[in-house]
A and B are shown apart, each in its own frame.
Chain A
Amino acid sequence: MSNLLEVRNLSKQFSAPGGPFRKARSMHAVNGVSFDLPKGRVIGVVGESGCGKSTLARLILRLVEPSGGAVTFAGEDLLAKSASQMRALRAEMQMVFQDPYSSIDPRYTVARAVIEPFEVQGRKPDGSAKAEVEKLLEMVGLDAGLASSFPHQISGGQKQRVGIARALALRPSLLVLDEPTASLDVSVQAQIIGLLEQLRDDLGLTYLFISHDLSLVKYFCDEILVMYLGRVVEALPETNAPARHPYTKTLMDSTFEPDPKLRRLIAPLEGEVPSPFDLPPGCAFAERCEYATDICRVETPALNETGGHPVACHNPL
């Protein structure tokens, strides 16, 4: 199976300029992330707020310019492309955003929103615009009668379906899904996830799925990358692989089973996430880790496959 997407050592450093009352400072939002996404697979990126998962998504599409590393999409080196070449390539790689309330222009009708990607690309749909809108709405399970509605007239779940229809308009091969169900009710979340599964099977799509919800990622994805403070700390090759990184274990233990018989005493993680502007040397998780030893506070562990799947830990479980 060939890789649709290859990410190597991708990094993004943000700087906050200094002023009269503060020093200039910088942080690594994404730090040396590498992974391969084979065609047809679904990789989930999971982590808590501020871990860099959304920045990673934007770096891959070059919606945010990376500070270093390489992204290869279908054999093309994305970082070598000009803005116009990049725009043309983005027809192949689309994104679905978290908040369907703000990702669609409130003055556009559903039809206009769905057809807009063609205008951006300066292309025309194969058939008439009206037929294309109907086709796209049908693909995402929306009634064609909604085409003339405005976003405020439809529900959150319907809006997210419009968001997906927009992303599908140019028939991409890769969809980057950035928390596509985080603002939806559970019953609607399940509908959207069901739709995404069906679209993957029907259209042979490849997904990069960003989420904070480990149970959802475990359900939906084939492989999982766990991020903490800008780094991938563990790459789970399958969703029920046991955690090797103490942070992954904490994440798994913090996720409750939907069954009162499986209730367990929670041993909560102590301490707080350190400020990304002021990271301690060594492993960023060491301060909160019960397995931390001296080396953890000095040397940043790299992803290492010794003894199992890749984990960035000096004392893997």
Chain B
Amino acid sequence: MSMLSVRDLGVAFGSIHPLSGVSFSVDRGQTIGIVGESGSGKSLTAMSVMGLLPLIGGRITDGNIEFDGQDLTNLPETAYRKLRGGRIGLITQNPMTSLDPLKKIGPQVDAVAILHLEMTPKEARARTEDILETLRIPEPALICDRYPHQMSGGMKQRIVIAMALAADPDVLIADEPTTALDVTVQAQIIRLLDDLVKERDLALVLITHDMSVVAQTCDKVVVMYAGRALEFGTVETIFDAPQHPYTQALIGCIPRGGDGTAKLDGIPGTVPTVMNYPKGCPFHPRCTRAQEICTTTQPEFTSYGDSAAACHFAGVAP
């Protein structure tokens, strides 16, 4: 059984439906990548799993979210509070804004263990220092006594990861954890997350727009566009034999240096906003293979080995 599984998730804000038909599952010791451009609904998916939709005025209208056999879709807020930041950890994109600038690092991380593991402040501090040490932060005791502004971006992101780990989660959701960081720091953080998945047998949901990060870390991939999943499968099939024209185009957008033979074409047009989701296949206005049927009918998923694509022409040679 999967640690976390999302089936046919649909989300609405009033009469607007920014998310529909999103499914994925992730096991212990596994990393799933949710990849897509801005506005594709990646972060909204994360917020749905974290039960944070009511906070921004949204609600789940379809499908369900199951965590360790428990349905989260109708979980009361009091029960959600125990899970959130506890057994389900969240790492946000911007470490600069996810720490309280007025509090020292120590107490901010301690708070997680005090709240979720009912530790005394003293126990919690010992645990905090342990976690900082496993995250290869030099001199944890000293760091606990610092304020966020005294640290670099990479160090702050490690603190945010420490907070997510403090309550010993089973699932970690990382929403663009390295987007705000320099490449060498990104490499440090990605290595760290990889090690954590293996050592702690975590299930990691990695949300990113960067296909290279996906290629480096993920076991499985979901490709999202305009609030829908368009293709999912193992990382090897997604990169070797992508079926959906959007996935193919997205991979074609990655600059590959050196030989200068591969031309970057880009994808004509722009990602539609939630008010202008196209009818039929959401990608059809930008798709080079679009036919009449694509403008009217939303394609169903068709399976190809261990992947599946929602395209009328998946598997058909162009």
* A162 CB, min distance to chain B CBs, angstroms: 14
Q: Is A89 an interface residue (CB 8 A)?
A: no
Which residue in A48, A188, A190, A239 is a CB contact (below 8 Å) of B184? Answer: A48
Interface of A is mostly: helix
Q: Is B190 an interface residue (CB 8 A)?
A: yes
Q: Mark B168-212, 1 if CB is under 8 A from A, else 0.
A: 000000000000001111111011001000000000000001111
- Residues of chain B lying within 8 A (CB to CB) of residue A239: 257-258, 260
Give the docked Cα–Cα distance between A263 and B268 (Å): 30
* B182 CB, min distance to chain A CBs, angstroms: 4
A191 contacts B184, C-beta separation under 8 Å:
no
B184 contacts A254, C-beta separation under 8 Å:
yes
A260 contacts B209, C-beta separation under 8 Å:
no
- Residues of chain B lying within 8 A (CB to CB) of residue A273: 152
Give the docked Cα–Cα distance between A239 and B210 (Å): 22
* B219 CB, min distance to chain A CBs, angstroms: 9
- Residues of chain A lying within 8 A (CB to CB) of residue B251: 258
B254 contacts A215, C-beta separation under 8 Å:
yes
Q: Is B256 an interface residue (CB 8 A)?
A: yes
- Residues of chain A lying within 8 A (CB to CB) of residue B190: 256, 266
Give the docked Cα–Cα distance between A197 and B265 (Å): 11
Which residue in B184, B185, B235, B271 is a CB contact (below 8 Å) of A260? Answer: B235
Give the docked Cα–Cα distance between A189 and B251 (Å): 13
A190 contacts B266, C-beta separation under 8 Å:
yes
* A86 CB, min distance to chain B CBs, angstroms: 33
B215 contacts A254, C-beta separation under 8 Å:
no
Q: Is A308 an interface residue (CB 8 A)?
A: no
* A73 CB, min distance to chain B CBs, angstroms: 28
B257 contacts A212, C-beta separation under 8 Å:
no
Q: Which residues of A contact B (CB under 8 A)?
A: 48-49, 155, 157-158, 185-194, 197, 212-220, 239-240, 250-251, 253-263, 266, 268-269, 272-273
18 contacts between A and B (CB under 8 A): A185-B38, A190-B252, A193-B264, A194-B264, A212-B182, A215-B256, A216-B255, A254-B183, A255-B212, A256-B212, A257-B216, A258-B256, A259-B239, A260-B216, A261-B240, A266-B190, A266-B194, A266-B216
List 5 additional A-B contacts (Cβ < 8 Å) besides A216-B257, A268-B188.
Answer: A157-B270, A187-B266, A254-B187, A268-B187, A268-B191
